[in-house]
Amino acid sequence: MNTDKRQWRNRKAKKELARRLQSQNPGLEVVHPHAAGIDVGNGAHYAAVRPDRDAQPVRRFECFTADLYRLADWLQTCGVQTVALQSTGVYWIPLYDILEERGFKGLVDSQTRLDLPPGIDSCQLRVTSDE
């Protein structure tokens, strides 16, 4: 009986956390307000900006060079200055070169090293820097 009640409380807490994270203000401190997160893949890249920057804040871009330039154009349009790239392979290198060429500050990291709270996917990054 006590175990069931504890599980219910954990489920309730988990639901509340998920609801809060999906809300307009999830309670996370904004470290870099002009930042974007990109989940780098071998077939496509998923980029996310703050919801107030674009009507479609998460977009999918293919890995062709023209698409990487289109991604950089979109980030500039959104007023992004810092970009966090999450990649498990070498697919981030061409994208990083283009972003660096455009003047973006880039942070490359592996998802296993990022500090992601439960319920946050890789496109909802809390970007931190040593600067």
Confidence of residue 46 (pLDDT cuts 50, 70, 90): very high
Residue 125 covered by a domain = no
Residue 49 covered by a domain = yes
> What CATH number is associated with residue 60?
3.30.420.80
Interval 63-77 mean pLDDT: 97
Residue 74 covered by a domain = yes
Residue 101 covered by a domain = yes
Residue 128 covered by a domain = no
Count of domains in the chain? 1
Residue 80 covered by a domain = yes
Parent domain of 55 = 29-109
- According to the per-residue pLDDT averaged within each range, which of 13-17, 24-28, 85-89 is highest? 85-89
Taking alpha carbons only, the member of 131, 68, 56, 122 closest to residue 99 is 68
Residue of 55 and 131 predicted with greater confidence: 55
